[in-house]
Structure 1
Amino acid sequence: MAEAIAFDIAARLITKLGSSALSQIGLWWNFKDDLDNLKRTITRIQAVLLDAEERSVTSNLVKVWLHELKDALYDAEDLVDDVHTEALRKDLMSGNKLTKEVRDFFSRSNQFAYGLKMGRKIKAIKARFTSIQGQASELKLVERDLSVETLFMAKRRQQTHSFVGKDEIIGREDDKAALLELLQDNEFQSEENVIMVPIVGIGGLGKTALAQLIYNHERVKDHFELRMWVCVSDVFDVKTIVANIIKSVTHQAPNQNLEMDQLQTQLRDKIDGKKYLLVLDDIWNEEGEQWFSLKKLLMGGTRGSRIIVTTRSHRVAKVTSKCQPYVLKGLSDDDAWSLFKQIAFEQRDADSTNPVFLDTGTQILERCGGVPLVIRTIASTLSIKETEREWRSFKDNEFARISQKDGEISPTLKLSYDHLPAHLKHCFAYCRLYPKDHTIQVQTLVQLWIAQGFVKQSEPNQSLEEIGLDYFKDLAERSFFQEIEDYEDWGMTCKMHDLMHDLAESVAGRESRILDSNSNTSELKELPEKIEKLVNLTHLSCLGCYRLTRMPRGIGKLTSLQKLSLFVVDKRGSRAAAAAAADLRELGGLNNLRGMLWISNLGLVKNAKEEFRAANLKEKKHLESLGLEWGDTTDDEEKSLEDLQPHPNLKRLRLIGWRGNDKIPSWLSLLTNLEYLCIEDSPHLGERCQKDIGEDWHKIAHIPRILDLVQDLQ
C-alpha cells in the first residue's frame, strides 16, 4: 500500500504547503522559498506515483523507492504540521488571555531560535526529496496525467447510492431447495437426533449468504422451535462459542465471569428437548477433539434438529459430520452473466447489447470462476469504465497479468483494489484493524478516517462527515463492504467479507499493526490536563471508560466538540483533585454536542441547582439521547431533575438512581419528540409513572416506549 499512502500524504502536504496559515508566523519569510521548492518537488514526485504503482509489482527497486518516499513524506508532514501548530498558537494569542508562559514562548529570542531550528529541518527534508526525485529519474519512472484520477473521483460522486439490507442472491434456487429438503427431511437415516449439514466451498462463493437465506426462510421459521446463529471464524474456542450460542437465544451476553460448567448448564437448559436449527458460520478448526467437546453439548435437541456448518475446508466437513457435505459450486454461465450485467451496466443499460462490451465482458467473466464475490467486485470496477477502449485495456493489460490458482481468488480482488483512487485505498486498508466478522459502525469508521487525515474537503459546503460517508458508499458499491444495514438507533453498520479482510491485511502490510492487550489490560482512568489546547477537537468518545474518575478542567473551551459521549462528575472529592476537575458548568457552552451524552455521578454535585442550570442542557438542540445517572445522593436532589431540562428535540432519555420524592419534572411533558424513556433504580419516580395507574402517567403517556429496567440507550 506504499504507493497509496505516498499519493495521499503528498496530496495533503501540497495542500498544507499552500495554506495561508503558514504566513501567520513572522519568520515564515525566512524559509518560504525552501517550502515553495519543496512543494514543487513533491508535486513532480507525485506525478510518477501512478507509474511506480504498476512497476512496484515486478520491480523490487521501485518498491524500496516507494517505501523510502513514504517515510520521507511522513517526516515532511510532521514538520509542516509543526509549523501549522505554531501558526495556530500565535493566532490564539489575541486579547488579554495570554499567560506569561505563552508570551515568553513567542518572545523575539525564542522566535529566532525556532526559525533556526525549522530552517535546518526544512533544508534537510528538501535535500532528501531532491535525492528521491533523482532516484525516480534513474528508475525511469514516467509522469502521468493526474487529471484522469480527478475525473474518476468526480464521476463517482455524481452517482446516486442505494443500499439493500441483504445482498441479492442470483442463481441459488436449486441450492436453496436442496438444503431446505435436508433440513426438513424427518426420514433422514441417522442414529442421532441432531444432524450436521456441512456447506463447503471456496471463499466468496456465497456460503454465508445462502445460509442466511435458508435461516430466514418462512418454512424454516415454522419448522424449528428455536433458531441460533454463531460466527466462529478463525479462533475455535468452545467456551466462546457456547457463550455466543446462549447470546443468540437470549439476545443478551452471559456474564463473562461464568465458568465453563455454568455456561454449559445454561446452554443445555435453553436447547435440550427443543427442535432447533444452529448455524455455525465460517469454521476453520480441523482438530476433532475440540469439535467433539462442543458437539456433545449440542446433542440434547429433539429429533429433527439440525446444525449447518459453513466452511472452506473439506477436512472440517469430515471432522464435523458423518454426512456427505453439500458442496457449493460457482454460478452457471447464465447466472454469472446475469449478475455481472446487473452491476457492470447498472447505469448504462444500452451498452449491455453492444457487441464489443458483450465480447470483452464475457472474456473477463471466464476468469472469475463463477464466484459471486469476484464477479461483483470486478463488475463494480468495470461499471466506472464507460468506453470500449477502457474495457479492452482492462482485459488485455491488468486482468491478463494476474496469476490465479485453483481456489485462489485474491489476485482478482487485488485487481479491483488497484483500480481504487488513492484516497479510497488508504481508507480500505485501514479497515484491517477491525477483527474478522466484526460489525462495523459506519459513523465511527468515518470519524476514524477523518482523525487519520484520510478525508479531503474539496467543497466548503460539505462537511468532512458527509465526504467520508461518500467514501464509504464508493467502497460499498465496489463490494468492499457487505451486509449493510441502517438502524434507527445505531445508524449504518456493515461487515467485511473474510477475503476482503485478507486483502486489507495484505495491502496494509507494515503500515498497521494490532497489539493484543489482553494480558496487560483498553482502561482509561483520566483524560489529559490542558485538554483545552485541542481547539479543533470534534469527537471525544469515552463511553465504556468505567474507570474514568473526572473530566479535566478546561474541557468547556472545546466549543468545536460535536461528540462527548460521557461526562463524569469528579468522584474523588479531594481539594487537589477538585482543582483539576471540570464541574457541570463547563458543559454550558458546548452547544454543538450531538448524538448521545451520558452524565454520571450527578449525586456528587455540591451546588446542584446552580450547576445543573449552568450545564445549559436546554440549549443543546442537536442531542438525541441523554443519560442522567445519580449514583450517590445529595440533599437537594428533589430539585435536581427540574433544573436539568433538555431541549425539546431530545429523542431518548434514561434516568438512573434518582432517589428524590418529588414528582416528575414539568419539562418531561414538553419533550414532544421523545420516543424512549427508561426509569431505572428510581423507585418513587417509577411508581408515579406506572402505566395507567401512576399519578404522573398522564404526563408521559405520549411517549411510545417507556421502560423501567436496564436498556441500552443508544
Structure 2
Amino acid sequence: MDCVSVVELLQKYLQSRRYLIVLDDLWSRDSWPLLDNAFVKNNNGSRIIITSRIQTVASLADANREIKLSLLPKEEAWTLFCRKAFARLEDRRCPLDLKTCAERIVDKCRGLPLALVALGSLLSYKEMDEHEWELFYNQLRWQLSNNPELSWVASVLNLSYNDLSCNLKNCFLYCGLFPEDHHIERKRLIRLWIAEGFIEDRGPETTLVDVAACYLKELVNRSLLQVAERNEYGRPKRFQMHDLLREISLSISKKEKFATTWDYPNTGSICDGPRRVFVQKDGNLMQTTQSSTQIRSVVMFVVEVSPSWFKDCYTSFRLLRVLCLRHCDIQKVPDNISNLFNLHYLDLGYTKLKEIPRSIGKLINLQTLYLNGSVLELPSDMTMLTKLQHLRIDVGRFGSSASNKIGRLEHLQTLKNIEANSCIVKKLGCLTRVRSLGIMKVLESYNTDLWTSISRMTVLTSLFVITADRDRDTLDLADLKPLPYLDKLMLSGRLDKGVIPPVFGHFPKLKSLRLSFSGLHEDPLALFSVMFRNLGHLILYRCYDGTKLTFRAGWFPKLKDVYLSSMNELKEIEIEDGAITSLHRLELWGLKSLTSVPQGLMYLRSLQQLCIGSRMSDEFHRRLEGCDRCIVQHIPYIGDP
C-alpha cells in the first residue's frame, strides 16, 4: 500500500472519531506534512503528541505547546534509583554501607531517567555487597558496552550517534575526551576542531568558525551536548557532556582508534594506534606513546610533567597537529617543537615560560597560538607564521623588528593582548581580517595611527583598548570610522574632552559596552539609549564624575546586565517605570555617595539579582535592610556578587 492510500485510509478512519495519537521519538521534520494531512481536523478535541530528542522536530509544535523535559533534580533522581535498585527491600531504602557507592552511581546518571531506571533495575539483582557495587561502578564503561541487560541503554544512545554525519561524529567523539564534568570553552573547542580538520569547508562565503558554530548548535539541538554556561548575550559559552554519553563516546573512540584518554593507572600502553591522546592523570607519557607512530594530537590536563618527556616521546609526535600544554609546569619550550611542521594548534598558556625561542618561526602551518601567562617578549620570527589566525597573550611586546613585519600575519582573526608602540599601531592596518583585537599601553600620541588602522578592520566584532596612563593619556576617536559588526567594546582611559565620541553612533550591532576611567562630565545614558538599541551588557567603572544617572521609560529594552562601580560623586540613580524592562542583574560597587536604594527598582519586575559589592556607604546598607526593603522585596536574590 502506497503513502497516498495510507493517508486516505487514516482520514476515513479518524473522520468522526476523537483521537489521541503519539508519535514517539520522531527524528525528522520531513515526514510531518504527510502525517499532518492524514490527521483529520474534526474539532472533536483530538490531540497529537510528538516526542523527539531533536530540537528542530520539537519546534513543529506552537511555542506555548512545546515542553522541554529537564533532567531530574538530585533528590528525585535518588528516589527513582532507590525505587528500582532496592525494590526487594520493604522500605526501598539504601543500606548505609552502600550509600556512598550508590550516590556515585546516581551522580553518574546526572538525572537521566533512562539511566537511573536501567542501572537501578540491574543492581536490584546483585548482592548488596559494597565491594561488588564498587566493582560495578569502576567497570561502568565496559558494562554499558557488554552487559546484555544494559545494551538497550547503549543502543538508545547510539541511535543519536549513528544519525550524525561523519564530521559531526568526529566532533561529538572529541567532546567526550575532555575530563568528566569538564566545562568545555566554546572558542577553544571550535579552534581545536578546525585544527583537527573536522570542519567542512563550505566556500568563501562562510568561515570555518561559522560552520563549527553550526556543528555545536546541532549537537546541542540533538541533546548530545549540554550548555553549561552562557555569556552576557545569552550565547552558549561553555558546554559539557552527560557522563553516560561520555562513557559511550569513549568506548566508540577506543574501538575506532579515534582517541584514548590516559587515566593512569587504569590505562594501558597506547600501542594500538589511536590518533589522539588526552592526558588526564600522570604526566609521564613515554611508556604510553613510545610504540605509537600514529599520534596526531596531545592534550594535557595535568600540571606535573617530566622535564625530558617531549624528547623521550618525540618519535611519536612528528606528525602532531595539536599540542596543548596549558597549565603544565614547564619553564622552557621543548627543543624539538620547532620541527613539528604539521602543527596547527599550540597552547602554551599559563605555563612558567619566560621566553619563546626564535625557532618557533619554523611552524609554518600554525593557526592558533596561546601564550597567556608570563611571556612578555615575542621574537621577530613570530612574523614568519603567515598562516596564524589566533594569537592570544596577556601582554605581548613585539620588538621593533617584529613590529615592522607584523603585516605578514595577514590571516590573523584574533590578536589579544599586544603592547602598543609607534610602529605597531601603524602596521595594524594591514591585518584587515581581524575580528577580535586587544591592545594595551596606548599613548596619546598613537591616536591618529591607531584609530586609522582599526578603521581598516571592517569585520571587527570585539575591541579592547587600554591606555598606558589613565590620567595622562587621552583616547581621541576622531579618526575612527564606523564599525558595522562591532558587538563588544571596552575602552579604559580618558575620552577626549570628557564626552562620548560621535562615532559611537555608528556601531549598530553593539551589545556589550565597558567604559573605565573615561572622565565623563554628563550623564551618558541619554546618548547611549539612542546609539545602542541592542545593548545587553553595560559596565561603567570610574567613568563619570556627575551626581545622577537616569534611565528613562522606553530606554534600553534589551539590557540584561548593568554594573556600576567606583563613581564617587554619584548620589542618585533614577529609574522610570518602563525603563530597562529586561534587566536581569544589577551590580553596585563602591558608590560611596549613594545613600538610598533607587526607588525605581520597584518597577523592574524582571530583575533576578541585586548584587551589592564592597565600599557602599553604611547608610545605603542600613536603608537596604530597613526602610527601603519594600522597594526590592520582589527580587529573588539580594546579596554579594
Q: Which has the higher helix share?
A: 1
* TM over 0.5, shorter chain: no
TM-score, normalised to structure 2, is 0.41
